[in-house]
């Protein structure tokens, strides 16, 4: 019990005093996971739409791959990204190992299938009549995609929430490709794990509470946006 | 924005499609460039692969800022098990190593993977366990004898199981005893020292630990020091530079600078007092310039 109280009071004071290290760690967490989510969104929404609407060979195989990718274990992603980015790996000359960029790449690989898959099922659930109706009204391909995504925005926002939630909470990939380097690649999850392994359970609880607060704030903003979208739609 | 673009180009559908693809690709490219610029690697960085024990005790938190201040290098400390640290070194993926598995380190020296291997410091391993001590090992002078009693009584023993320096030391003791431990009582944690101690404490088990991590964790553990002082239990740390002649991508100057820094009088002085304020005893004993065979005498 005293551990929990110690953790909560530590978290409170860290936030109130605006501890610089913790602030930096929290900011990096947001930057890395936010960027990974944005990139996944930019690729995943068009890709998910294409998979939902497209009529091409290999579409169902591609859809299966995306659905499998939604459960990609972060450590597996971390291992493969490490192998690619190591100095003597195929992409070693980019010098990205142990940088925030490497973490963005790994987290994008984790979030992309989630956002693609949920977009795919969201668009797929729309009334197929809309598709034909829009085309008969003379919509171009691009307009069609845009309008369908707008129509399925509840599902697309759910995809963003799921993707962001997954990457901000993952540790395996960030630890492996980032290395938890202080002031450089240390994010909230890796810092929490490190404090636990140092026996500083109070600090660990404090960091975990800060992570929960950030996730809660962002998710509730997105949820509000989603529900607002839902009410104007009906 | 996309909507506007599409309206203005709505007269030629295939062209729009191509534009859309280009636009998406451009966005992704821009984001990627931004991502890379966020984390562009500084030219003067040194990758230090080290064991969790040096990082978890907080020693490196004290030493690294001094080194960075003095030399202008930016150190990336990758704290992993000794097995992984040595593997990173032998593949040229780190610039300098700080490890505590002398036998394995000598193999890297023999293969020409690392050079400038220097003795830095030592502390010792201890066998800890529950106060009830079901295997009756308290006060034994021989680690092998203690292990023999633990396996003989099938008392829970939690092993690191991660090929770390501590795990290698544990295996050396079993080898000396001439047995390979197995059975329900022998738990392989696959975790760092801190977590392994927590598991041993929860399971009322024995484990082999370095003294530093045990002291750092003591307040959260229900484990006593039961066996200490056997010569086989010395925990010896060396620093070594990854060979830039073998791996062209290694930062040779930075690695050498860090190796020399670790054995400098200033650092040795800091090591000799590190931990005294917090635990009453130093966590490490500085050994720069000594002969390994003289340690513990």
Q: Give residue-wise pLDDT tens across range B186-243.
A: 999 988 888 899 999 999 999 999 888 898 888 889 999 999 989 899 989 999 999 9
| CB < 8 Å to B250, chain A | 87
pLDDT in tens, A113-124: 999 999 999 998
Chain A residue with the nearest C-alpha to that of B18: A142
User: Which of B17, B77, B194 is opposite residue A142, by nearest beta carbon?
Assistant: B17
**Phi, psi at B79, each rounded to 5°:** -90, 110
Q: CA–CA separation, A33 vs A36, rounded Å?
A: 5
Q: Chain B partners of A197 at a C-beta cutoff of 8 Å? A: 52, 56, 192-195
Cβ separation of B93 and A86 shorter than 8 Å?
A: yes
- Spans of all domains in chain A: 20-186+212-233
pLDDT value of residue B147: 96
Query: In chain A, what percentage of residues exceed pLDDT 70?
Result: 97
Count CB atoms within 10 A of the CB of residue B220: 15
Q: Are A33 and A168 in contact (CB under 8 A)?
A: yes
CB contact under 8 A, B220 and A201: yes
Q: Do A141 and B7 touch (CB under 8 A)?
A: no
Closest CA of chain B from A233, distance in Å: 18
pTM: 0.81
Chain A residue numbers with beta carbons less than 8 Å from the beta carbon of B93 are 86-88, 97
Contact yes or no for B194 and A197 at CB 8 A: yes
Across residues B134-157, what is the average pLDDT? 95
pLDDT in tens, B122-133: 989 999 999 999
Average the pLDDT over each of A84-93, B32-41, B91-100, B101-110 and give the range with the smallest value. Answer: B32-41
Higher pLDDT pick, A175 / B33: A175
Nearest to A87 among B7, B92, B219 (CB): B92
User: Residue B171's pLDDT is what?
Assistant: 94
What is the rounded distance in angstroms from the CA atom of residue A174 to the CA atom of residue A180?
8
Kindly state the average pLDDT of the residues A189-213: 88
Short-list B232, B235, B230, CA closest to B141 = B230
Helix, strand, coil tally for chain B in percent (to 5): 50, 20, 30
Does A140 sit within 8 Å of B13, measured CB to CB?
yes
Of B61, B91, B194, the CB nearest to A88: B91
B39 with A105: Cβ contact below 8 A: no
> What is the dihedral angle through the alpha carbons of B16, B17, B18, B21, rounded to the nearest 10 degrees?
120
Phi, psi (degrees; rounded to nearest 5) at B240: -150, 150
Chain-centre distance of CA A153, in angstroms? 17
- Chain B, residues 199-218, CB within 8 A of chain A, namely 216-217
B38–A179 CB contact, under 8 Å: no
Q: Where are the alpha helices (DSSP H) in chain A?
A: 2-17, 20-53, 59-69, 74-85, 100-124, 128-136, 141-151, 153-169, 172-178, 188-197, 201-233
Q: Which of B15, B18, B29, B39 should one mutate to test binding to chain A, selecting the residue with the greatest count of A CBs within 10 A?
A: B39
Nearest to B220 among A92, A184, A199 (CB): A199
How much is the pLDDT for A234? 41
Q: Could you tell me the two tokens for B276? A: 């005294």
Could you tell me which of B202, B204, B208 has the C-alpha nearest to residue B181?
B208
Q: Which CATH class is domain A20-186+212-233?
A: mainly alpha
Q: What confidence category does residue A89 fall into, taking pLDDT thresholds of 50, 70 and 90?
A: very high
**How far apart are alpha carbons B241 and B239 in whole angstroms?**
7
Q: What is the pLDDT of residue B1?
A: 36
Q: How far is A68 from chain B (nearest CA, A)?
A: 23
Specify whether the CB–CB gap between A117 and A145 falls below 8 A.
no
* B1 close contact with A: CB closer than 8 A: no
The complex's ipTM? 0.81
Interface test with B, best of A144, A147, A198, A202 (most B CBs within 10 A): A198
Residue A73 has pLDDT above 90, yes or no: yes
Q: Cα separations (Å) of B17 from A46, A139, A144, B21?
A: 12, 12, 11, 6
Contacts of B56 in chain A (CB under 8 A): 197-199
Chain A interface, best mutation among B47, B50, B76, by max A CB count within 10 A: B76
| The pLDDT of residue A230 | 58
Q: Which two tokens stand for residue B193?
A: 């020292």
Average pLDDT for B99-128: 94
Three-class DSSP category at B79: strand
Reported as a single tens digit per residue, the pLDDT across B146-168 is 999 999 999 999 999 988 889 99
B61 touches chain A (CB under 8 A): yes
pLDDT of residue A198: 80
pLDDT band for position A15 (cuts 50, 70, 90): confident
Q: How far is CA A141 from CA A42, A202, B2, in A?
A: 17, 55, 12
Question: What is the DSSP secondary-structure string of B210-240?
Answer: EHHHHHHHGGG---EEEE---GGGEEEEEEE
Residue A68 class from Cβ within 10 Å (0-12 exposed, 13-18 middle, 19+ buried)?
Answer: exposed
E-only strand ranges, B101-233:
114-129, 157-159, 186-188, 207-210, 224-227
Of A99, A140, A198, the CB nearest to B41: A99
- By CA distance, what is B29's nearest residue in A? A39
Q: How far is CA B193 from CA A136, A232, B27, B85, B108, in A?
A: 67, 56, 45, 15, 24
Cα B252 off chain centre by = 21
Chain-chain contact of B92 with A95 (C-beta, under 8 angstroms): no
Question: DSSP label at B91?
Answer: T
Answer yes or no: is pLDDT of A71 > 80: yes
User: How high does pLDDT run on average in chain B?
Assistant: 86
Q: For B38-88, write each residue's pLDDT tens digit.
A: 544 445 899 999 988 788 888 999 999 999 999 999 999 999 888 899 999
């Amino acid at each position: 019990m005293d551990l929990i109280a110690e953790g909560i009071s530590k978290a409170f004071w860290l936030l109130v005093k605006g501890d610089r290290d913790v602030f930096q760690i929290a900011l990096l967490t947001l930057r890395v996971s936010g960027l990974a989510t944005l990139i996944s969104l930019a690729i995943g929404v068009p890709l998910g739409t294409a998979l939902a609407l497209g009529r091409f060979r290999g579409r169902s195989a591609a859809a299966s791959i995306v659905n499998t990718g939604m459960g990609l274990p972060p450590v597996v992603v971390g291992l493969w990204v490490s192998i690619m980015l190591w100095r003597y790996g195929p992409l070693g000359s980019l010098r990205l190992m142990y940088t925030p960029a490497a973490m963005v790449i790994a987290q994008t690989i984790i979030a992309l299938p989630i956002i693609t898959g949920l977009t795919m099922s969201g668009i797929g659930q729309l009334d197929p009549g809309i598709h034909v109706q829009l085309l008969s009204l003379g919509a171009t391909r691009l307009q069609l995609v845009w309008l369908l995504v707008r129509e399925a925005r509840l599902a697309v926002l759910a995809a963003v929430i799921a993707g962001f939630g997954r990457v901000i909470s993952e540790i395996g990939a960030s630890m492996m490709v980032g290395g938890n380097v202080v002031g450089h690649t240390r994010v909230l999850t890796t810092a929490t794990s490190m404090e636990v392994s140092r026996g500083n359970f109070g600090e660990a609880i404090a960091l975990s509470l800060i992570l929960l607060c950030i996730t809660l704030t962002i998710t509730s903003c997105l949820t509000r946006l989603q529900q607002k979208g839902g009410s104007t739609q009906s | 924005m996309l909507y506007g673009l599409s309206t203005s180009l709505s007269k030629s559908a295939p062209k729009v499609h191509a534009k859309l693809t280009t636009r998406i690709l451009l966005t992704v490219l821009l984001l990627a460039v931004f991502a890379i610029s966020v984390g562009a690697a500084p030219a003067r960085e040194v990758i230090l692969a080290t064991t969790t024990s040096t990082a978890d005790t907080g020693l490196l938190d004290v030493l690294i800022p001094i080194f960075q201040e003095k030399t202008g290098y930016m150190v990336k400390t990758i704290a992993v098990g000794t097995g992984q640290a040595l593997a990173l070194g032998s593949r040229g993926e780190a610039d300098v190593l700080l490890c505590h598995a002398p036998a394995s380190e000598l193999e890297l020296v023999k293969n020409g993977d690392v050079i400038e291997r220097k003795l830095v410091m030592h502390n010792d391993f201890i066998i800890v366990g529950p106060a009830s001590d079901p295997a009756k090992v308290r006060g034994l002078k021989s680690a092998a004898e203690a292990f023999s009693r633990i396996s003989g009584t099938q008392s829970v023993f939690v092993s690191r199981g991660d090929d770390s320096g501590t795990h290698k030391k544990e295996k050396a003791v079993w080898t000396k005893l001439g047995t390979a431990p197995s059975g329900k009582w022998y738990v392989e944690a696959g975790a760092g020292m801190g977590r392994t101690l927590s598991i041993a404490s929860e399971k009322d088990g024995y484990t082999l630990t370095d003294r530093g991590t045990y002291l750092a964790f003591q307040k959260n553990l229900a484990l006593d020091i039961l066996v200490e002082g056997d010569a086989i239990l010395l925990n010896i740390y060396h620093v070594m530079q990854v060979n830039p002649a073998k791996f062209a991508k290694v930062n040779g100057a930075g690695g050498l600078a860090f190796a020399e820094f670790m054995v400098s009088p200033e650092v040795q002085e800091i090591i000799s007092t590190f931990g005294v304020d917090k635990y009453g005893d130093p966590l490490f004993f500085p050994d720069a310039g000594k002969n390994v065979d003289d340690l513990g005498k």
